[in-house]
Amino acid sequence: MSGILVLAEHEGGKFKKTAYELLGKAKELAGSLGTSVAAVVLGDAPVAELGGFGASKVYHVAGDFSGYNTLKVVRGLQAAIDAAKPDVVLAPASYTGKDAIPRLVARLGTGQGSECTELRVDGGAVVGRRPVYAGKALVDVRISKKPAVFTVRPNSFNQPTPAGGSAEVVAVSAAFGASDDRVQLVQRMEAESTVADLTEAERIVSGGRSLKSAEQFDAVVRPLAAALGATPGASRAAVDAGYAHHNEQVGQTGKTVNPQLYIALGISGAIQHLAGSRTSKVIFAINKDAEAPIFEHATYGVVADLFEIAPLLTEEFKAALKN
């Protein structure tokens, strides 16, 4: 094999944790395949440090990628792939993974396994496993053409421990044209939130319509999330009712999440919500309705009033963290 190439995303010069997750998994897969691991980085970032996470080479595409531009990202990635000639490409199922990667795959004339939660070696090839039908089933995806491209949901793999060493940096030149600048950045606004984005959060506390008001959502969901170091989330019903912001919505029309722990407060568990949260490692649900669909998928469930249980949990977590 010609190796595995990982898209290492970064923001403000700091690599996202998905970069390390994918490099760690790529190193594991490469060990089984007897091949090497490389990374591709777009724009300014400390590229050499990726060697400590398993990358023997880093294909660095210089340029200004701070304002997201689909056409420039695709052209940059295509130039790196032309230089690296990998058999497998791994990318996060991020905005870039959902927007630019399909366009890249079409240009390469190959195939893509999207939103994978597992990767393994089978018969000398990488096979991805992904949820389908709103998470009600899992399918294995094998790509017959090269490079085989897989996008992976954040938190699907453990964070690797850096082992030291540096990577060889290979400068890649991408020929950007005037047509690549058809979209121009007018304004960039930094997120005010200090918690992890829902798509990358390891712990999430979500509230549903049962919170009854924005004030009670803020009084119940957010303190529990803060006590856990978690990110607040919400069902579509709660967002539509004005209890939470749309960027906090989890579900088919919101964000797809894959945390280690998902706490659902007063969420019935409609299929649209489960489509975005079903792959959570542990789901803990609190609902007064013992017949709520969420309990069919919850790892742990409490049939009780969330207004009684959630504050108790908040105090217990605060006390535990102090110790």
Instruction: Please give the Cα distance from 11 to 21 (Å, whole number).
Output: 16
**pLDDT of 318 higher than 60:** yes
Backbone angles phi, psi at 271, to 5 degrees: -60, -30
Residues paired with residue 300 on neighbouring β-strands, in sequence order: 284
Q: What angle do CA 100, 147, 158 make, to 5 degrees?
A: 75
Q: Where are the domains of the chain?
A: 4-181, 203-322
Mean pLDDT on 234-242 = 96
Do 4-181 and 203-322 show the same overall fold?
Answer: yes
pLDDT tier at 1, thresholds 50, 70, 90: low
Q: Which fold is adopted by the domain 4-181?
A: Rossmann fold (3.40.50)
Instruction: Please give the Cα distance from 305 to 103 (Å, whole number).
Output: 48
Structure confidence at residue 323 (pLDDT): 67
Cβ atoms of residues 98 and 255 within 8 Å: no
**pLDDT of 188 higher than 90:** no
CATH no. of 203-322? 3.40.50.1220
Closest to 9 measured CA to CA, from 56, 47, 48, 36: 47
Tokens found for residue 304? 């009780």
Tokens found for residue 234? 């919400």
pLDDT tens readout for residues 112-140: 999 999 999 999 999 999 999 878 899 99
First to last CA, the chain: 51
pLDDT tier at 36, thresholds 50, 70, 90: very high
Burial class (CB in 10 A: 0-12, 13-18, 19+), 158: exposed
Structure confidence at residue 73 (pLDDT): 93
Cβ atoms of residues 195 and 84 within 8 Å: no
**pLDDT of 283 higher than 60:** yes
Cβ atoms of residues 227 and 263 within 8 Å: no
H-run or E-run covering 31? helix 17-33
**pLDDT of 182 higher than 80:** no
Instruction: Please give the Cα distance from 224 to 315 (Å, whole number).
Output: 8
Structure confidence at residue 157 (pLDDT): 94
